[in-house]
Structure 1
């Protein structure tokens, strides 16, 4: 498994420039002058789905298991790579909603999917979702994206993904609702939208060009909508970090429910 070597290396992004750079990426933005649109409150937490111990039977005995991930239509399911056995599904109610629900799904030995984590309340971009993301549109990209690199200001909580602990993940300022952003990047998981996989989340190379945005992460919820990122409660994010296994080729499937159901 690749690992990041950061201690003593030149900083990729100076602490004084991190917030400025993020104005063109997925995370952290000063509060807007106009109030954000009203959306439904985040869903309440419920215990994670339990699975029986032992090997799965030839005909899957796991409660709720299915050949397709719950909530995904055939077109979306077809975009999940054949080798993937972990998928975080982040579902918003509508195209314009900025709260969502995240559920981790696992594929068993017989190819059927079951819930293995969550549901967890989540947030996304201020203006909702888009299948044509551009920097500054304040929408989260819809799609199926690999997740393979993590990091944060705080020490690794036990992640199996490569984890870059670095003070450059510090952030300050306020969000769209005036909430403090400090601590939002204590732990992050990079979403492979317009980035080079296998690098620290701090890396700024944008293969599609800066205009298509970037720096789209799963990070700690700061109590308000994001620029384009997904945000989870701190403990839920730590749970997800520990659960994700690079050998499972994990992906995030994200978007409004109607789009994911296609």
Structure 2
């Protein structure tokens, strides 16, 4: 049974995960391809099990390098003028997901909000995250095991479990159930207990389970923010369960939320 809360929020499509519902995160993950990393790098001083995402900066993990040049308060931290220019004018809530390098499968996610004075401040996080096994790309195709780089709307959510208090439309459905193992042999069960659809190659305003791909199946799709399973994804972004639940409760459709995602050197342009 599917229970969808809230009226669809029709937002414009984003610009760039391997298809969750076609060839991506929703399927049982294959063995890591030749030449691909076999485990996610652990943060220095991190005593958690192998495969767990690193501690976020400020929580015992390494902080990403930060330019010494002053950053205008009206610009999202870590973003250069080109990337920030892609953030819609009406957006006052942005989740910034930053990888250290183009090939990194671990990242850090921070939710920012813009106040009436135009200043962006941290609203939640930073949180440790995983992204795709092979890192990032600005030309995503199905099966490349890279997460798309870009700025994408966040307007729809769902999951196998009941709505934890989201303000986004939420579709509870047993079709979000998943089994199998990930790239590190970790269980995928529960990964889609809660998800947020990233508006890459999808029709906004529909359940994350919707299979229509406006750019064609070859460009992938089904790119979600979902529950972390302790290893890299096919193209999605994953957060620890409680961090994702906090994010779901925080995202407000009236703020036109987006996710800004990619490696730090690219986002800094």
TM-score where L is the length of structure 2: 0.81
Q: Does 1:91 align with 2:98?
A: yes
Does the Cα contact within 8 Å between 1:105 and 1:114 map onto a contact in 2? yes
Partner Cα separation in structure 1 for residue 243 and residue 210 of structure 2: 25
Are 1:80 and 2:91 matched, yes or no? no
Offset, 1:157: 0.1
State the SS of the aligned residue for 2:83. helix
Are 1:209 and 2:216 an aligned pair? yes
Larger radius of gyration: 1
Deviation at 1:25, TM superposition (A): 3.2
Hey, what does 1:25 align to over in structure 2? Answer: 24
* Partner SS, residue 147 of structure 1: strand
Q: Give structure 2 stretches of 5+ with no counterpart.
A: 1-5, 10-18, 43-52, 60-70
Contact 1:27–1:217 at 8 Å: present in 2 too?
A: no
Match of 1:184 among 188, 191, 200: 191
Alpha carbons 2:111, 2:125 under 8 Å: kept: yes
The Cα of 1:30 is off from its aligned counterpart by 2.7
Change (3 A) 1:139 1:21: closer
Q: Is the 8 A contact 1:87 1:106 kept in 2?
A: yes
CA RMSD in angstroms, aligned pairs only: 2.0
Residue 219 in 1 paired to residue 220 in 2? no
Equivalent residue pairs, number: 231
Partners of 1:181 and 1:34 lie apart in 2 by 22
C-alpha displacement of 1:197:
0.1
**Pairwise CA distance, 1:40:** 3.0
Which residue of 1 is the match for residue 7 of structure 2? 2
2:41 aligned partner? 40
Q: Which residue does the alignment assign to 1:150?
A: 157
Assess, with a 3 A threshold, how the Cα gap between structure 1 residues 226 and 130 changes in structure 2: closer, same or farther.
same
Where has structure 1 moved over 2 Å in runs of 4 or more?
20-23, 25-28, 30-36, 38-43
Paired with 1:98 and 1:33, the residues of 2 have a C-alpha distance of 14
Normalising by structure 1, we get a TM-score of 0.83
